[in-house]
Chain A
Amino acid sequence: MLTLSKVSKNFGGLTVLEAVNLSIPARGIFGLIGPNGAGKTTVFNLITGLLTPSAGTIEFFGQRLDGMAPFEITRRGVARTFQNIRVFKEMTLLENVLVALGDHPSYGALSVLLPLPSHRRAEARERERARELLFRVGLADKADRFAGTLSYGEQRRLEIARALATGPKLLLLDEPAAGMNSVEKDNLMGEILKLSDGALSILIIEHDMRFVMEICQRIAVLNFGRLIAQGRPEEIRANPVVIKAYLGQDDDVIGGRSGVAS
């Protein structure tokens, strides 16, 4: 479904990504890991159109994404969340999701001018959809609170609700578990597994190895802008190149739950 072919990205003299080949099928949960600065968020930025590749192509369902405007890419079915949360703090949760629903609105622009009942009904329908999405991520009871009052973990879930509002076929989650305690992480894992039941593909950037190994079916590993390994979690865990790349990182990071390879 999503194919990156020989994608490279340079900033001036700095090469951030080099000849990356990545392939994501239409269903499932996939992980993108690597040490800090490996270029993971850059991959997300390239896919979503915030950056254009210096070389290589990105295809989504056969269509070239590179060079397309970001909003077009989102409309084609690619949604994302951010590493540093970007919810609209001064809007309510409901309003946050409503904005995201705006890309396939249920009423035309001109109908705004007339207080017709059809317009009111359309607005009510949108609010219903927004509430449903909030319900999916467990935030329905907080719908009328300002997003800035939420806890970190709740704001992350709001971001996910917003991303889902655009009806994506591919969901990019940038460090969704960051800043969460283990209970929240377990809940998040459950939610992500539930989400992937539909015709949805999820690509996750994450530093928490346990998280990634538990829910991802395939994992790609980046280091210094290059793809150094791809495969099932067990394969990645045992891959010497990967382990070497992480040397200097915490030992518990690789190896499963209790620091022991399982």
Chain B
Amino acid sequence: MEWLDSFWSTYSTLVLSLGTNVLLALSIYLTLSCGLLSVANAAFMGLGAYTAALLTLKSGMALWLAVMAGVLLPALIALAIGRPTLRLSGVYLAMATLAFGEVVRIVILNTEALTGGALGLNGIPQLTEWYDIAAAVGMALYVLLRLARSRIGRTMVAIAQDETATELMGLNVRAFKLFAFVAGAGLAGLAGGLNAHFTFFISPNEYGFDRGVEILAMGVLGGTGNPWGAAIGGVLITLLPELLRGLGHYRPLVNGVILIVIILYSPKGLWELFRLARPSAAKATL
């Protein structure tokens, strides 16, 4: 067990980050499976982080209670902006969510009294343990896997392929999209809340455009057909920089090149590779 202790002391941050990124990847999977290109999940993560952190800092609330509040707030905001925003589609939606993310970041920057502004929030109690993250990831994966196999998941895939045809089958497309958007926001908030309580310091710039794009990249790299795909994307994005650590200065370069290579060879994401490699179950050739 000594091995476990030394492993943990070196890699605990990595493992916890891994869990966070998997949660984020799952949050984007939900929105992407419906065909929604949202870059807002980083902002929702930030909202969750700040909410939970402020609650534990200022009122000593228990971790999971604070984190639940950090799930609720982004979900409610997503509900509020969802209706007008989801009228858009494709890149227009991406851009609108991008703008929203920037607005959140700027609001945080300019409310110094509450959020510490540009200096960020320091000294957040480090309450998150590995089992908190594991439980969160486990729950999220379970729910999403079940959703994927149910009529809700099927409907969302249908919406992603052809919204109009789906609507004309009597399905309330707007409601499904809103659900995906709000649930994605909540999941991202969950990731943010838990994450804040082991990094013990958060600042607005962590939840901006770059993070939002990174989350999207996780979803696309892993493949959006399946929650496992998204999880793989999250794992990859987290581990890749670590695996390349030995390369020193060239790390980002190789990182970038690997991203390009993966997309060039498997544009639908890594999950597609796994799916094709498995023995097909009497399905016709495409």
Interface contact A102-B161, CB-CB below 8 Å: no
Residues of B within 8 A of A (CB): 143, 146-147, 150-152, 154-155, 157-158, 161-162, 164-174, 282-286
A102: which of B147, B155, B164, B282 is its contact (CB, 8 Å)?
A: B155
B283: which of A100, A102, A145, A162 is its contact (CB, 8 Å)?
A: A145
When chains A and B are docked, how far (Å) is the Cα of A144 from the Cα of B157?
Answer: 17
Interface contact B283-A146, CB-CB below 8 Å: yes
A162: which of B146, B169, B173 is its contact (CB, 8 Å)?
A: B169
Q: How far is the CB of A71 from chain B (nearest CB, A)?
A: 5
User: Given A88-B161, A109-B152, is A103 in contact with B170 using a C-beta cutoff of 8 Å?
Assistant: yes
Interface contact B173-A71, CB-CB below 8 Å: yes
Q: How far is the CB of A49 from chain B (nearest CB, A)?
A: 8
Interface of B is mostly: helix
Interface residues of A in 88-118 (CB under 8 A from B): 88-92, 95, 98-105, 107, 109, 112-113, 115
Closest residue of chain A to B176, judged by CB? A102
Interface residues of A in 160-175 (CB under 8 A from B): 162, 165-166
When chains A and B are docked, how far (Å) is the Cα of A112 from the Cα of B150?
Answer: 7
Q: How far is the CB of B135 from chain A (nearest CB, A)?
A: 16
Interface contact A149-B147, CB-CB below 8 Å: no
Closest residue of chain B to A103, judged by CB? B170
Give the size range of A's interface with the partner.
35 or more
Closest residue of chain A to B156, judged by CB? A99
When chains A and B are docked, how far (Å) is the Cα of A115 from the Cα of B145?
Answer: 12
Q: Is A211 an interface residue (CB 8 A)?
A: no
Interface contact B154-A98, CB-CB below 8 Å: yes
Q: Is A79 an interface residue (CB 8 A)?
A: yes
Closest residue of chain B to A109, judged by CB? B152
B165: which of A82, A95, A105, A144 is its contact (CB, 8 Å)?
A: A82
B171: which of A71, A79, A113 is its contact (CB, 8 Å)?
A: A71
Interface contact B169-A144, CB-CB below 8 Å: no
